[in-house]
Amino acid sequence: MALALVAALGSGGGAGRPAVNGLPVVAGAFAIGYVHSIYRAPSAEVFTVEGRRFTMRAVLSVNEGVLDYYAVEGERVRLPGDVWLLRLAEPASYEELSLLTTSIGRRTVVSGGRCLPLYPATGAREVRLTVGLTQDAHGGPCDHNQSFFLKTMYNPTDIATISTEDTQKPQTSPVPG
């Protein structure tokens, strides 16, 4: 099974395209890449988009302890490149998600090979994640700090095996790492 963190089928923008905080969503998926604050490990949460809702489907990390940190049930797999994947047994759906971002964790939205950093240069700030239609695309090429997220690809065909019914069904929401 070919896995990819980001649906890297290309970037794009334009009016009327689904976007997360202005970053166009490519192939119906995006990820929030970050460095886990306890394990200091590059990690990512993988989401699919349906309308204005987004659903967390999986967690990826180079440190298996990050998957334990989430304390949720799911299928755990070790991928090539020493990356761990946890497919959530009960995906969590959101209409909006409030995140605390810091320059240490470097939370970044990633889709289609493009990145939108959410974190401040110093300190911390709260960011509200939502899906809407973009008229003015935000984000840009990912820099070297996001190299883990670009090397670990999440193939949209893997996401397609999840039914629309599951996407629409709200679940208990895990607290993102």
> Model confidence over 109-149: pLDDT tens digits?
999 888 999 999 999 999 999 999 987 788 888 875 555 55
- Asked whether residue 4 is assigned to any structural domain, the reply reads no
Total number of domains constituting the chain = 1
Least Cα distance to 102 among 127, 81, 84, 76 occurs for: 127
Q: Which long-range contacts (CB under 8 A, 24 or more apart) does 156-165 make?
A: 156/4, 156/7, 156/9, 156/27, 156/28, 156/29, 157/2, 158/1, 158/2, 158/3, 158/4, 159/7, 159/28, 159/29, 159/46, 159/48, 159/57, 162/48, 162/57, 162/91, 164/50
Asked if residue 77 is part of any domain, the answer here is yes
Q: Does the pLDDT value for residue 2 go beyond 80?
A: no
Calculate the average pLDDT of the chain: 77
- Domain of 103 in residue numbering reads as 17-160
Q: What does the longest C-alpha to C-alpha distance in the chain come to?
A: 41
- Residue 53 maps to a domain: yes
Is 37 part of a structural domain of the chain?
yes
pLDDT value of residue 140 = 87
3-state secondary structure of 64: helix
Task: Say what the pLDDT of residue 17 is.
Answer: 86
Render pLDDT for 150-162 as a digit per residue (tens, 0 to 9).
454 444 444 434 3
Confidence of residue 94 (pLDDT cuts 50, 70, 90): very high
Residue 3 within a domain: no
Q: What is the pTM of this model?
A: 0.76
Q: Is there a domain that residue 176 lies in? A: no
Q: Which pair of structure tokens corresponds to residue 18?
A: 């689904």
Question: 91 or 81: whose pLDDT is higher?
Answer: 91
Q: Is residue 133 part of a domain?
A: yes
Residue 9: band (very low, low, confident or very high) from pLDDT cuts 50, 70, 90: very low
Per-residue pLDDT tens digits for 23-79: 999 889 999 999 988 888 999 999 999 999 999 999 999 999 999 999 999 999 998
Whether pLDDT at 1 is above 90: no
Q: What is the pLDDT of residue 4?
A: 36
Cα(64)–Cα(82) distance, rounded to whole angstroms? 10
Supply the pLDDT for residue 145.
56
Which amino acid appears at position 28 of this protein?
G
- The pLDDT score that the predictor gives to residue 77 is 92
Average pLDDT, stretch 7-15? 39
Buried (b) or exposed (e) across 95-112, using 16+ Cβ within 10 A? Answer: eebebebbeebbbbbbbb
Instruction: Establish if 34 belongs to a structural domain.
Output: yes
